[in-house]
A and B are shown apart, each in its own frame.
Chain A
Amino acid sequence: MSKVVVIRFSSPILAKGQEKEQYKLMLQLGLRSLSGEDDIKKSLRKYIPAGVVGMKTNCLARKFNSTPIYLCDALGAILIEMGTEENDIIIWERTGRELEMAGYKLNASSFGKRCFGTDTNGVGYSGDFYNSGDVNSLVTRILTEVVDSNINLPVLKDHSIAGLSAALKNLYGAINNPNKWHGNNCDPFAAHIANFDPIKNKNKLTIIDAMRVQYNGGPGYDSRYVADYKGLIISDDPVAADRIGLEIVEHYRKLNNLPTLEKAVRPAKYLKSAEKLGLGVEDITKIELTVSAIDLNGIAKSTKLFDE
């Protein structure tokens, strides 16, 4: 069994100027629920060891639908409360350009949270190839040499080839040659990339941003197919988190009279391959799902994955 927690924000909109606090409330509730610990420090420490912590964003869709800065800020605040040095937090992507286009301010200095791409001078990729199945890639030195643990922060999206872009697909941003591994709906390539040692071993937690779900037309931004789900999907099992994300994408596709991803010829079949590699649970009957809603005042209650 794997555990997945979905936290939904029950107020109508994210209040202007309070976004970071709202994300923080959602994260605190989600991490407590996932870990079974009341104390937020203990709950996060259950997954994230002391040391340098990476946050892998997804900034492909620029400011329109990338990992929100507020999410990184809120998570960073919790990590700092937990005792992590501010400069030991690294928000990263494959390129600095993508981070900047999503609104992040680059910082490779010794002060404050760091934020940079693998293309930053002095970073780059591993000297040796990592292999799994037929996939061979260099892995970002952020994972191989810089961080002690990583939190994967993807955005929940449809993907024109893979079907689903969430936790596993976001890890394409950790390798040097992602364009080579998109055939056959990214299957089994997405699974093998997630199976590279430094990726598999350093990734401790997945938090999928599902505030606005791009249920069709992804992975770029297409305003015609965006749903306000207002949720976060949290798990230490990236495959199970993706499986729940897939339910949400399919739900909105059905609601909007779109064919299933299977019928749209882009089934997210790489999830099954990931399960076969032992990376997590794809079988939804083996996923323990907890869904909670939280409002502006931090009052939480149990709810369902979808509105009635």
Chain B
Amino acid sequence: MNRRSVIRCLGCGALATAAFQSDILPEILGGIQNAFAFDYAKNLSSVEARYYKKLEGGGIECGLCPRHCRVTDLERGYCGVRENRNDTYHTLIYGLPCSMNIDPIEKKPLFHFYPGTTAFSLATAGCNVNCKFCQNWDISQSRPEQTNNIDLPPQAIPPICLENKAPTIAYTYSEPVIFYEYMYDIAVQGKKKGIRSVMITGGYIEKEPLKELFPIIDAIKVDLKSIREDYYKNIVNGELKPVLDSLVMIKNSGVWLEIVYLVVPTLNDSETEFHDLAKWIKSNLGNEVPLHFSRFHPQYLLKNLPPTPQKTLETAYEICRAEGLKYVYLGNLPGHPAESTYCPQCGKILIERRGYKIYQYNLNGNLCRYCNQTIPGLF
């Protein structure tokens, strides 16, 4: 796919996503497959992966995420997108996104990061966890052979952003940790052109590779899926502790941080959990990190559960505000007052949002225009 056709694709407003190759192609492109020339990548990439070590006696151990997969020749790690070839570990999805779009930054959601701007958003196949509620499972739980990938090397992305007036690149939809090398190189290319990068992640990453991202990533949104280890084990297929460690590291690094908590009925929606969540955030990250409670919709392997009741989300909101968190939001409830930002000092509305749109903006730089209270974030 050349740059021009990417732009045309974006102009159609369609999510150039992939899902599974096969006869469902017309469906996934929303019937616009003839609107632009698509050249799907024919091969997987074979760029050497970072953060792995060779093992005595053969095989490698991946050090990118806390899973530390040990992978023998011709096998792949849990993510499904890294393969051992003769004891050299390769990323198979470098330069091969399967999903991209231009989104409002509010969709990430990042509410204290250049509100009202857009982000060129992309993802590859694969993920290092397997959440039972995943909303993008058709790409995150796929191997790259199962998605339609587009040839898009890192250096091709900043010009697309500039032409489409997108000041930010978002690594999102699946889990950018698993396309680390690609993300890293895009962010470096973006920096050269003054384009910001934001990472939308589950935070399940080892310390060293995370630290290496701080100089080139401008904001990170972490999906903190629960404050309970057993939820991570049974619903996420991951671990809580490394995610909490990542949150603390990000906060201490100075990279802008926001947190999303998807409230899943009966699984992580008790008042005790909301209290524990707020207390942990306040103690470890401070009370100014924005926290978004997001409404669950039945998806993937949890189709048996109902959408999160509005009342539950409002309870979570009230508890966290009462615990002292200053910026708590409710998501996937378009038009709800808790989508907006309020000044913690004077209580007046600073940014009025409905869905992903902004209707009022009452900040002067980082200051409340009514009382001069400093609002954390990048505005």
Contacts and interface: CB of A to CB of B under 8 A. Distances in A.
A243 interface: no
B43 to A, nearest CB: 8
A217 B59 CA distance: 9
B22 A220 contact: no
Contacts of A180: 78, 80, 130, 141, 237
Nearest to B71: A160
B146 interface: yes
Contact of A94 (B58, B75, B145): B145
Given A94-B145, A121-B23, A136-B301, A182 B74 contact: no
A177 B141 contact: yes
Contacts of B20: 124-125, 138, 176
B116 interface: no
Interface string B151-195: 000000000000000000000000000000000000000000000
A60 B75 CA distance: 8
A176 B146 contact: yes
B77 interface: yes
B322 to A, nearest CB: 37
A129 B301 contact: yes
B23 A219 contact: no
B115 to A, nearest CB: 37
B21 A121 contact: yes
Interface string B63-89: 000000010111111111000000000
B187 to A, nearest CB: 26
Interface size band for A: 20 to 34
A219 B74 contact: yes
A12 interface: no
Contacts of A61: 74
A122 interface: yes
B338 to A, nearest CB: 34
Contact of A177 (B23, B59, B75, B80): B80
Interface string B31-72: 000000000000000000000000000110000000000101
A182 B237 CA distance: 12
Interface string B190-214: 0000000000000000000000000
Contacts of A60: 74-75
Contact of B58 (A119, A176, A222): A222
B142 interface: yes
Given A61-B74, A136-B301, A182-B78, A176 B143 contact: yes
Nearest to B79: A179
Contact of B142 (A117, A176, A219): A176
Nearest to A131: B301
A179 B145 contact: no
B267 interface: no
A178 B81 CA distance: 12
B23 A220 contact: no
Quick one: which of A94, A179, A222 has the most chain B CB within 10 A? A179
Contacts of A122: 22-23
A122 B24 CA distance: 8
Interface string A110-124: 000000010101111
Contact of B77 (A179, A217, A219): A179
Given A124-B21, A180-B237, A119 B75 contact: no
Interface string B10-23: 00000000001111
Contacts of B21: 119, 121, 124
B291 to A, nearest CB: 30
A179 B76 contact: yes
Contacts of A41: none
Nearest to B237: A180
B59 A179 contact: no
A97 B44 CA distance: 10
A227 to B, nearest CB: 18
Contacts of A222: 58, 73
Interface string A205-233: 00000000000011111100000000000
Nearest to B84: A220
18 contacts: A60-B74, A62-B74, A121-B21, A122-B22, A124-B20, A124-B24, A124-B146, A136-B301, A176-B20, A176-B142, A177-B80, A179-B76, A179-B77, A179-B143, A180-B78, A180-B237, A182-B78, A217-B58
Interface of A: 60-62, 94-95, 97, 117, 119, 121-125, 129, 136, 138, 141, 160-161, 176-180, 182, 217-222
Interface of B: 20-25, 58-59, 70, 72-80, 130, 141-143, 145-146, 237, 301
Given A61-B74, A177-B130, 12 more contacts: A60-B74, A121-B23, A123-B22, A141-B22, A160-B72, A160-B75, A177-B80, A177-B142, A179-B76, A180-B130, A217-B72, A218-B72
